[in-house]
Amino acid sequence: MSAGAGFQGTVQQFTEAEGRVTEVRAGMDSNLVTLRDRIEATRAGWQGDAQKAFDNVMRRFDDDARQMNQALQRIGDLLREAGSKYERSEQQQQEILSAVNKGFDALG
């Protein structure tokens, strides 16, 4: 079964995959905060050009972390959307089959 842009699976599989992506994102965020705090603790040791370089590295670190978070969020959103579309498609197909069966029943 397929839904969305090439995703294939059941509603349950989409839901489970979205849950795993959300867990990974939360774990990654926690690890990055811990790492950032540990790196930030060394800030006092940097001065002059070295401090500017340190600040640039930290800015890139923050930007990269934000981009990874957004990418994982988007993947989770796509999985959720694919599952919802699949579920709606399944419901529509069931309604069509039910209507066709009722039509045949009416014919005798």
Is 65 part of any domain? yes
Give tens-digit pLDDT for 5-41: 566 778 888 889 999 999 999 999 999 999 999 999 9
Q: Which domain range does residue 56 map to?
A: 2-82
* 2 pLDDT higher than 50: no
At residue 13, the pLDDT reads: 87
What's the pLDDT at 15? 87
Q: Check which CATH number belongs to the domain holding 39 and give it.
A: 1.10.287
Per DSSP (E only), the strands in 20-104 are none
Task: Say how far apart CA 74 and CA 37 lie, in whole Å.
Answer: 26
Domain for residue 102, yes or no?
Answer: no
The reply to whether 59 falls in a domain is yes
Res. 47: pLDDT tops 90: yes
pLDDT tens readout for residues 65-108: 999 999 999 999 988 888 777 777 777 777 787 777 777 777 76
φ, ψ of residue 6 to 5 degrees: the values are 90, -5
Instruction: Note whether 27 and 95 are within 8 A (CB).
Output: no
Number of domains in the chain: 1
